[in-house]
Amino acid sequence: MTARTVLQHSDIARALTRITHEILESNHGGSDLVILGIPTRGAILAERIGRLLEQIEPGSGATGTLDTTMYRDDLARNPTRVPRPTTIPSGGIDGRTVVLVDDVLFSGRTIRAALDAMVDLGRPKAVRLAVLIDRGHRELPIRADFVGKNLPTSLGERINVRVEEVDGVDEVTIEP
């Protein structure tokens, strides 16, 4: 069986625009926001959200990346991960609202690792989570605040998020 496309470029753009507006509304503006993307595709989605924030409310698009590699609990099983740089906007995260951005929320373990990584960087006022896809099957009590699309899946299925900047195309597919 082949992969089926569930989101195309226009669907992803629409979802990110909606997420951006929801972030601004729930935060009552963007003055104290920091958007941190989890590499690889979460960082790209965070950059896109940051650009949208800047268009809607200039001065509110502070973005960075948060590498979770060394905070993961599966390093013994997957030791070939290469750490990526963590970049934090010049104002830091202390006392600010941080929105973590990832492509797919599945077990919740990557987000747990991101929360652990953030402890080394400072103390935000609040942490929110934005994901393009929430596929369920949580192993930890983690919930996204902003979701592009809920895609209930079986454990045997795989969600593939592709972005133009890395893969040459914007799409989300499900394969068996």
Q: Is 117 within 8 Å of 86 (Cβ atoms)?
A: yes
**SS3 state of residue 97:** strand
pLDDT category of residue 22 using cuts at 50, 70 and 90? very high
Residue positions counted in the chain: 176
Residue 79, pLDDT score: 62
CA distance linking residue 163 with residue 142, whole number of Å: 25
Structural domains of the chain ordered from first start: 4-71+86-175 (3.40.50.2020)
- State the CB neighbour count (10 A cutoff) for residue 22: 15
Residue % of the chain over a pLDDT of 90: 88
| Lowest-confidence segment of 3-7, 76-80, 145-149 by average pLDDT | 76-80
Give pTM, 2 decimals: 0.95
CA distance linking residue 161 with residue 169, whole number of Å: 10
The string of pLDDT tens digits covering residues 55-70 is 999 999 899 999 999 8
Residue 73, pLDDT score: 80
